Amino acid sequence: MNYITINVSEFFRNPERFQELESKIFPELLKENNRLKIWSAACSYGAEPYTMAMMLEKMPLVKGYKILATDIDKQILERAKLGKYSAQDVKNVDKALVSKYFKQENNDYLLSESLKKNIEFKHHDLLRDNYDKGFDLIVCRNVVIYFTDEAKDKIYRQFYQSLRKGGFLFVGGTERIHNYREIGFENTYPFFYKKP
């Protein structure tokens, strides 16, 4: 399993998409609920859930949030929980955020415990395990492209069931859900699919 898992990730990967998440998606979700439940599916070494936590921490309308961060690779989850990154890993993080949320030790950058407290890391297989429900946002980026069309369809349908009404699925820059209408989604913004 470790041999075939890719584990490519980075903080603020495709920054323009995260800008949309911050300026459009989060404000829309926060109109309905100021306590968000988020799932970072196939989270790799944790850059993605920690990116969202940094964004949410500075949003005044947020009264609370929980991020479930899952991956099939147990070793990479241990690395994510540790929150230890290299200078290369944090290169796309704004310097103000680095100084606020990371402590530099030699060549390593250690994430603050304050940022970790709202994130739960858990082992999960997208094709075999049950999906939790009631998410405001599910983020699953640059993973489903490696699956068969049949597996993709199954995963997207399960994501749809896992979202609350008004919730969003955020996919990767190389991914499109071709049958999103058939599943029930609306394509409100590029790479964001809404459960109406």
Alpha helices, DSSP H only, in 7-144?
Answer: 15-20, 26-32, 47-57, 74-82, 95-101, 113-116
Q: What is the CATH number of the domain that holds 24?
A: 3.40.50.150
Whether residue 6 lies inside any domain: the answer is: no
Asked if residue 3 belongs to a domain, the reply is no
Most confidently modeled range among 139-148, 155-164, 173-182: 155-164
100 occurs within a structural domain: yes
pLDDT tens-digit series, residues 57-112? 999 999 999 999 999 999 999 999 999 999 988 988 899 999 999 999 998 999 99
Domain that holds residue 28: 15-194
Please determine, for residue 160, whether its predicted confidence score (pLDDT) is greater than 80.
yes
Stated pTM of the model: 0.93
In a domain, 58, yes or no: yes
Residue 10: inside a domain: no
Number of domains in the chain: 1
